[in-house]
Structure 1
Amino acid sequence: MFSGCFVALVTPMLPDGEIDYKGLEQLVDLHLQHGTDGLVIMGTTAEAATISLSEQSDVIARVAGQVSGQIPVLAGNGSNATAEGVARTRELDKLAIDGFLTVTPFYNKPMQKGMLAHYQQVAAATQKPVLLYNVPGRTGVDLLPETVAELAMTDNIVGIKEATGSLTRLSDLQRCCPGDFLLFSGDDASGLNFMRAGGHGVISVTANVAPAQMSRLCKLALSGHFAEAEQLDQSLQGLHHQLFIESNPIPVKWALQRMGVMTSDFMRLPLTQLEPIHHQIIEQALQQAGLVA
């Protein structure tokens, strides 16, 4: 169903805070041309928390229309309120998307039974595939393998983006979940080892700035060509780590502007532009990856 390199796409913005639709179109074209296997729109990296639902719907509809079935498009539909998550899912379900990426409820810190009920209700609001998204570092809760296994019994919950960076967690998920349950890494730095251990791909921040390299890395890993994949991954490790030197997507937007891919690295408050002290660090990571001279 889904595999390989999915990019957690940034949302280009103009200096006045409006969405840069021309820049967005160019960004999507870049991924279509460089082999990205799928797009995740309006997730954390897209700054969904500061973008209204009507704006999100507009962005997702435009991207889906531009892609026109060439690669899968997944929409972020996460919320920390279950009723809002259900309503959001029903609204976005009207669009020509291929599925959803649903982050765990954030800030509320629900128990496992609360997350179980939350996901069951959100998944019931659509017939499209749903990928769970576990990122404890941002949400404050950890969706445990036993809960994932129970959710995997829901017909349209087809996989998970697991961003703990733990290969032990991957093996626990493999032990608990059905063999056809999709396992995506949400941690670029350990993504290669995740795929080596049986994962199906990566939902990647690094792919924003290195789409061709990340696409090739995933293809090599999933076809068992690990020696070549390791060599490529080494050149990207600086990006994997330094793109999180400040809160995502602050560094990746700066990198895209530095590369000339985007005209602005603007973000809506409370996110702010990359601190000058970090510019050279990201620059060196881009050089190591061969993306700037």
Structure 2
Amino acid sequence: MMLTGVIPPVCTPMTPDYQVDTASLTRLVDHLLEGGVDALFVLGSSSEVAYLADPQRRIVLDTVVGHVAGQVPVLAGVIDMTTPRVLEHARVAEAAGVSALVATAPFYTRTHPTEISTHFRTLAAESGLPVYAYDLPVSVHTKLSADLLLELAADGVLAGVKDSSGDDGGLRQVILGRQAPFSVLTGSEVTVDCALWMGADGVVPGLGNVDPHGYVNLVKSARQGDWEAARAEQERLVRLFEIVRVGGGRMGGSSSGLGAFKAALHLRGVIAHPTTALPQVPLNGDEIAAIGKHLATAGLL
């Protein structure tokens, strides 16, 4: 399953009492499909997967898979601390009808590359679905090495990787070293043009929730070899990405970033409320107004 193009990690809209807002979620899915995205990734970092209880995860899966109805592939994050917990999420996701699974290395526990290899091999063997690795050392505290990724790719264990490591050298090593079909997807919203130029296959941008058309246009320009247009679109999106910093030092990075995506979607009329899961700190009125100014400058309001 060779994925390419724009694959947004879908935000999880919530009601003011912290339940999954399924009506807003289906509007968000329509917003993304109308933007021309190539696939959807639910239950990732931008989906607030770490904050969702298992029943909420299932609601997200059933809502998105049911509403998409096969129009594009739906990837499901099965992110958890250890292999047994990930396998349980995988069984639920497979029953919901997803197209592929996305998993990080184990975390909280201290792991060795041999154990990480066993983790992915077990998931691939028991799930029956394509498995994508999610390289997220800032949260998992383990960097997936290029050697390990290429070994697992060559053995048919992994179908691809979402690289959110920020290690451009490592990303290039994977691109240059792959032999079999293996999707290399950047998770950086602000260096997509560079990753595509190096040979990456696509992008998984949290900001793509807010402006899917922008990322689709960027990828289209790159595919056509119009790197000047790709760079110009990337620079517009870099300026828009400043919304994630409006929370400043008043809150954590997740509160500021995920709150910004949701506030922007609310201002654009896509979701009903910008609620983020506990214990994240909500943005205040001044911060949301600042996001509105960024959206207006980007031509989105």
Shorter-chain TM-score category? over 0.9
| Equivalent residue runs for 1:1-293 within 5 Å | 1-243=2-244, 246-247=253-254, 248-275=257-284, 278-279=287-288, 281-292=290-301
Change over 3 Å in CA distance of 1:172–1:118 after alignment to 2: same
Q: Is the 8 A contact 1:200 1:222 kept in 2?
A: no
Structure 2 regions of 5+ residues with no counterpart? 247-252
Q: How big is the shift at 1:276?
A: 5.3
Deviations 1:207-228 (A, max 9, x none): 1000111111112213322111
Tell me how far 1:12 sits from its aligned partner.
Answer: 0.5
> Alignment length, in residue pairs?
292
Deviation at residue 53 of structure 1 after TM alignment:
2.1
2 CA distance for matches of 1:189 and 1:100?
25
Q: Distance in 1 between matches of 2:283 and 2:180?
A: 42
Alpha carbons of 1:212 and 1:65: their partners in 2 closer, same or farther (altered >3 Å)?
Answer: same
Between the aligned partners of 1:170 and 1:222, the Cα distance in structure 2 is 19
Structure 1 pair 115–288 and aligned structure 2 pair: CA distance change class (3 A): farther
Q: CA RMSD of the aligned region, Å?
A: 1.8
Q: Which amino acid aligns with 1:80?
A: M
SS in 2 for 1:189: coil
Distance in 1, matches of 2:129 and 2:290, equals 41
Quickly say closer, same or farther: Cα 1:118–1:73, change in 2 above 3 A.
same
Task: Supply the distance in 1 between the matched residues of 2:64 and 2:293 (Cα, whole angstroms).
Answer: 32
In 2 relative to 1, CA 278–251 (structure 1 residues): closer, same or farther, beyond 3 Å?
Answer: same
Distance 1:241 1:141 in 2: 27
Is the CA contact 1:64–1:73 (under 8 Å) kept in the aligned structure 2?
Answer: yes
Amino acid of the residue matched to residue 194 of structure 2?
A: N
Change (3 A) 1:61 1:154: farther
TM-score, length-scaled by structure 2: 0.91
1:287/1:107 Cα in 2 relative to 1: closer, same or farther (>3 Å)?
A: farther
Contact 2:135 2:165 in 1 (8 A): yes
Identity of aligned residues (%): 27
8 Å CA contact 2:120, 2:157 repeated in 1: no
Partner of 1:187: helix, strand, or coil? coil
Larger proportion of helix: 2
Provide closer, same or farther for how the CA distance between residues 107 and 251 of structure 1 changes in structure 2, counting only shifts above 3 A: farther
Q: How far apart in 1 are the matches of 2:141 and 2:240? A: 25
Conserved? CA contact 2:154–2:180, under 8 Å:
no
Moved more, 187-196 or 216-225: 216-225
Which residue number corresponds to residue 250 of structure 2? none
Query: Which whole-Å CA distance do the structure 2 matches of 1:154 and 1:243 have between them?
Result: 38
Is the partner of 1:254 in helix, strand or coil?
helix
